[in-house]
Structure 1
Amino acid sequence: MNWMKLPTIGVSLVFAALAILGGCRGGSSSPPGPAEESAGGFPRSKTLYLAGSQWGDPNSFNPLADWPAWPVNDRFNLMYEPLLAYNTLTGQVEPLLGRLVSQSTEGVQVVLHPQAKWNDGKPVTATDVKFIYQLGKRFKGASTAYVLDYISDIKVDTVEEGGAKAERLTFVVNKAGRNNPLMVMDILQAIRIVPSHIFEPMVAGKRDLTEVLKLKIDKAPVVSGPYTLHAYSNEKIVLQRRADYWGNAALHQGKAPVPEYIIHPIYKSNDAFAIALQKGDLDASQTFIPRIWLKKGDKVHTWQDKAPYFLPGAVPMLLINTTKPPLDDRNFRRAMAHAIDYKAIQELAVSGYSPGVKPGAILPFGVEGKYYDEEAVRSVGAAHALEDAKKLLEASGYKSVFKPDGTLDHMVNAKGERVPTLFVKSPAGWSDWEAMVSLAVKGMRAAGIDVREGFVDASLYWPALPTGDFDLIMHKPASQVTPSLPWSRFEALMSSRNWVSPGSGKMNENQGRYNNPQSKGYNPRVDELLRAIPNMTDDVALKAAYTELNTIFMQDQPALPLCYLPEQFYEYSTRHWTGWQNEQNPFAPPLLPWIGAATQALWQLQPVK
């Protein structure tokens, strides 16, 4: 049995917290700086400023809501904790409210920590776990209802754990449903547990969750995590350290997190984050800051001290609507892949933050590297080669028509019909995405492909993605690093499980409508592999399956990977706090200390004296 999360290190650390005047509204675009707040009750040596998650006004801190404010949203574990924490650096699952005992294709066993408690003194129990995991049985609109597709039952028994009685939970894989043990592991580190003794009376007797979801849960919330909500406004969210956090003794050798407060300032632009980080008003951020090496003189650092500076974990791509001519022609799609200058994107669009991109949908390093087959990629992949792009287009009957000045006018197909100009849809104002799209368009037009940028407001971008209202669209599928990668990326790109034609319904995966199961060209092997891989346990068989799936991806090219980027742009300042994790001190993954195993940093940071 091993509950400890941290190695024995001769330093303790407290994470600084988010400061704000409670209930105050009507803030400004430039929140008060830490110097002002020091006088107002948030000493700089006790306060950690983190940012990059909350952009708008905090609306709710209700853990049952679909889109609550930081840190109740997404997978943050400062207030509400999941059973397990995933270390994206090592690929290991670390203990939190529970400890992983075993995993198989039939189910996953987790033992609840016997010392885990809510801040009202009540223990964290299997009843709490079952409440949130099975809420979808009672309310179809629950944000966790999707869990039922993967977990058919949660069995509970009692075992001896460190001289105390502990509850053991067996999460049974839903064989009649999705039959996916990989996703069960994702769920165990994503779903935060809530106190059933607080929320059960709220939902009891209700037909739906409408009224419950209106509750903000912003006054003295009952939480299990190391911090709790102190105050908030439209300028910032403030968390305060819990002196009675159960995990201090159980997981961190009796130490408390170092920062007494964690404050998330709410800025309006990427530039505001960059300036705050340079000035030392912000201690860490996850926003895109170009040319980060120029900030080193201001004590701003990243995971690595040289290019690519960040640890890659996600793949920005152009998804292709494969139902539209000429995009339904895989030779045309492969010509597009050959035409893009990936080196230019790497150097000019993302400031060198990406290693050289390889064809395919598997990262060739890190936890995914063991599934990457260099020989298959070399023999099948469409790397940048402008002449190869032109040859593919010519062989498929496409001709490019140029104006007298030599610029591209339009294309015609093998029938002599004019091919409509294609547009790449992408959110306007997202500077790194805009640069990637523009360089991809430049490369494709150089090959004679009539394509243009189509930057739109985010309010038009997001609805277009699931409905298929695009020719090509910028997206980052499976953007979070979880135990199910790279399977989840292939699922997001290639699954025909919920296939519907554009305009007739929404698809949350395979938005490009690749591999229509009703078409003559349907390849059933894709879906067979996607169903089989989650139940494979032999590494040799797994690599063979992933190689086959990646080969199909490269042959059919349903999307165009552009570069590799980090899960988070992990940037930190040593002006006020030291002891951050980095490549030389990799005690935690390169994420801000508010999610997964990265929260270990809260016990290791030290204020600058």
Structure 2
Amino acid sequence: MAFTDATRRGLLRAGASLPLSAALIRESRAQAGGTLTVALPTTPTSCDPVNPPDHDWMIVTQNIFENLVEYDIDGVLRPQLAKALPTVSEDGLTYAFELHEGIKFHNGQPLTSEDVKYSFEWMLDPANKAARGPTFNRLSHVEVDSPTKLRVILKEPFSPWLTMLTKFMGIWPKGSREQYGPDHFRRHPTGVGTGPGLFEEWKPNDYISFRRNPNYWQPGKPAWERLIIKQVPEDTSRVAYLLSSQADIISVPPPRDYARLKTRRGIQGNARATLGGWSFIALNNARPPFDDVNFRRAIAHAIDRKTINERIYHGMVETTAVPAPRSSWWFNPAADAVLDYNLDKARDYLKKSKYPNGASFELACASVPYLLDSRDAAIFLQSELAKIGVEVKIRLAEQSVLSPMLSRGELDALVANFMSPGDPTYMIMVYLTAGQFMSKSSSFTDARLDELMKLAFRENEQEPMKPHLHEMQMLLAEKSPFIWLGFFSAANLWRDRVKNFKVSTGQTVMVRDVSLG
């Protein structure tokens, strides 16, 4: 489960001679300098934006589908298909948008307000079983005022929905879901997006490829002729692809090697703090031993977060014990202090619990790195908790296997790194409140937390929202339904020939503006 430096060096040497796939060879000959290749870990599961794959693979959905608004690489919300950010009614229930004119879907059909209405209402219909549908269940419907003007109507105030829209939604042509069926959107979504990439091919366990959209509505973009998203699970293999010029950009560089690699000749790299990158341990509060709050508090006090983040994640995680980055405007230092690393407190809480003599549980962990490699962290946690008499059994499986199990409530615990849109309430809402697509992962509900959520949803400004978020963090520190280790940074490495690429603070790898030198 842990890799030695010698093993890593050996694999790097072997990986450097990996052959190019047939597709890459063909394209390098046909489009010299025109193909951008991005290597990602894990396994894609869908091209459908409302049933999206994991965070990294959202590069696929976001090159096909677009939204009314988007986040830029600095995490600033800005208009996309809409001309401007919406006008919001005084009661916070109506959001008015005006679309750009002249935008066309990949099939040549013009984008209109009717397409937006159809897309939203299809996603909101429970009969369609959109995985992210519950995220938007406070939205009611869309009213069309003209081919370019529309209003989104909410059932109750819900200010974060715009930020969530940027990651878990897209706009497709009216009637296309019935016309093409679910497999079209999932496996070969040709003709149904407005984005910079035209879907070309999905070769399982290898790559997904795109051609440049010659009629893209943003002039001069994209600059690449072809985009290949390679599936390269192993850290060492991704690095080898980069060093041997078989990949132009890689995601999830190994933290222990990142600082050295980014200064290597011909290579560039950068890392940026994220507002939505949870590094945490998900606990199923319905399963023993996590059905006892004192046991959960014992675990929370027994974990040396600083050592994990400095020595295992090599500074790529900003330490915090609550669901807020220390650098964020909503961080509550008082709540963070409640869960200090203290083995005496851990033992005291254990004695107060239903399991005073310790307990055993299974800790799941992704076998292939997802955003960061958690395997060494799992081994460290196993050692740490043994100090207070708690036995941890580590279970390794692919992220594509663990995520559905987590959503169904089938895991005791999972040490993981997950990315949200960067809104302070999103992850708390989907994991720790009832009726969301990840609610069963925690089996945790709390009436006061629900009330605080509603109060926060009414606010569009930081200062009036902050006291509600601070109280949420204190409540979660005291009840410890999950255990937070910190917030991870987004990091990438890329070759010198890649121009205009920047690491995104809140989204996946963004390549719409990238050109090749």
Q: Which of residues 294, 305, 327 in structure 1 aligns to 2:260?
A: 294
Which TM-score applies when normalising by structure 1?
A: 0.71
Give the whole-Å Cα distance in 2 for the aligned partners of 1:445 and 1:498. Answer: 35
Q: Which residue is 1:432 aligned to?
A: 373
Q: Which of residues 183, 192, 201 in structure 1 aligns to 2:170?
A: 192
Give the whole-Å Cα distance in 2 for the aligned partners of 1:200 and 1:461. Answer: 29
Q: Secondary structure at the match of 2:286?
A: coil
Kept after mapping to 2: 8 A contact 1:316/1:476: yes
Kept after mapping to 1: 8 A contact 2:69/2:162: no
Give the whole-Å Cα distance in 2 for the aligned partners of 1:147 and 1:283. Answer: 35
**1:377 and 2:336 matched:** yes
Q: Which residue is 2:284 aligned to?
A: 321
CA 1:547–1:71 in 2, change beyond 3 Å: closer, same or farther?
closer
Q: Which of residues 497, 500, 503 in structure 2 aligns to 1:579?
A: 500
CA offsets 1:414-453 (integer angstroms, 9 cap, x no match): xxxx54423323334548222112212222222x131213
CA 1:310–1:528 in 2, change beyond 3 Å: closer, same or farther?
closer
Q: Which of residues 463, 476, 479 in structure 2 aligns to 1:556?
A: 479
> Structure 2 counterpart of 1:377, which letter?
D
Matches within 5 A, 1:531-542: 531-537=454-460, 539-542=462-465
Provide the aligned length of Structure 1 versus Structure 2.
491
Q: Which of residues 191, 197, 202 in structure 2 aligns to 1:227?
A: 197
Computed over aligned residues only, the root mean square deviation of the Cα atoms, in angstroms, reads 3.5
Deviation of residue 261 (structure 1)? 1.6
Deviation of residue 240 (structure 1)? 1.8
Q: Which residue is 1:127 aligned to?
A: 114
Q: Secondary structure at the match of 1:221?
A: coil
CA 1:524–1:237 in 2, change beyond 3 Å: closer, same or farther?
closer
CA 1:353–1:133 in 2, change beyond 3 Å: closer, same or farther?
same
Deviation of residue 311 (structure 1)? 4.3
Deviation of residue 173 (structure 1)? 0.5
CA offsets 1:500-533 (integer angstroms, 9 cap, x no match): xxxxxxx622622234xxxxxxx52122112221
Q: Which of residues 25, 30, 39 in structure 2 aligns to 1:41?
A: 30
Q: Which residue is 2:244 aligned to?
A: 279
Q: Which residue is 1:84 aligned to?
A: 69
CA 1:385–1:71 in 2, change beyond 3 Å: closer, same or farther?
closer
> Structure 2 counterpart of 1:240, which letter?
R
CA offsets 1:82-127 (integer angstroms, 9 cap, x no match): 2211236243223335532323521222211012123444321012
Kept after mapping to 1: 8 A contact 2:167/2:507: no
Q: Secondary structure at the match of 2:373?
A: helix
CA 1:40–1:526 in 2, change beyond 3 Å: closer, same or farther?
same
Q: Secondary structure at the match of 1:192?
A: coil
Q: Which of residues 197, 218, 225 in structure 2 aligns to 1:247?
A: 218
**1:451 and 2:391 matched:** yes
Matches within 5 A, 1:306-317: 311=274, 313-317=276-280
Q: Which residue is 1:5 aligned to?
A: none
Give the whole-Å Cα distance in 1 for the aligned partners of 2:390 and 2:189. Answer: 56
Deviation of residue 564 (structure 1)? 2.0
Give the whole-Å Cα distance in 1 for the aligned partners of 2:249 and 2:124. Answer: 40
Q: Which residue is 2:343 aligned to?
A: 386
Give the whole-Å Cα distance in 2 for the aligned partners of 1:578 and 1:130. Answer: 37
Matches within 5 A, 1:421-500: 421-430=360-369, 432-446=373-387, 448-458=388-398, 461-476=402-417, 479-482=419-422, 485-495=423-433, 497-498=434-435
Kept after mapping to 1: 8 A contact 2:41/2:234: no
Deviation of residue 546 (structure 1)? 0.7
> Structure 2 counterpart of 1:32, which letter?
S
Q: Secondary structure at the match of 2:415?
A: strand
Q: Secondary structure at the match of 1:243?
A: coil
Give the whole-Å Cα distance in 1 for the aligned partners of 2:415 and 2:121. Answer: 35
Q: Which of residues 355, 358, 365 in structure 1 aligns to 2:320?
A: 358
> Structure 1 counterpart of 2:215, which letter?
D
Q: Which residue is 1:118 aligned to?
A: 105
Q: Secondary structure at the match of 2:84?
A: strand
> Structure 1 counterpart of 2:35, which letter?
T
Q: Secondary structure at the match of 1:316?
A: strand
Runs of 4+ in 1 over 4 A off after TM superposition: 63-75, 136-139, 144-148, 214-220, 309-312, 588-593
Q: Secondary structure at the match of 2:62?
A: coil
> Structure 2 counterpart of 1:42, which letter?
Q
Deviation of residue 73 (structure 1)? 5.9
Give the whole-Å Cα distance in 2 for the aligned partners of 1:35 and 1:78. Answer: 20
Q: Which residue is 2:443 aligned to?
A: 513
Deviation of residue 183 (structure 1)? 2.4
Give the whole-Å Cα distance in 2 for the aligned partners of 1:544 and 1:131. Answer: 37
Q: Which residue is 2:229 aligned to?
A: 264
Q: Which of residues 161, 179, 182 in structure 2 aligns to 1:202?
A: 179
Q: Which residue is 1:152 aligned to?
A: 140
Higher Cα Rg, which structure:
1
Q: Which residue is 1:330 aligned to?
A: 293
Kept after mapping to 2: 8 A contact 1:83/1:189: no
Deviation of residue 284 (structure 1)? 1.1
Kept after mapping to 1: 8 A contact 2:248/2:495: yes
Give the whole-Å Cα distance in 1 for the aligned partners of 2:60 and 2:116. Answer: 16
Q: Secondary structure at the match of 2:394?
A: strand
> Structure 1 counterpart of 2:487, which letter?
Y
Which TM-score applies when normalising by structure 2?
A: 0.82
Give the whole-Å Cα distance in 2 for the aligned partners of 1:345 and 1:377. Answer: 17
**1:168 and 2:143 matched:** no
Q: Which residue is 2:12 aligned to?
A: none
Kept after mapping to 2: 8 A contact 1:358/1:383: no
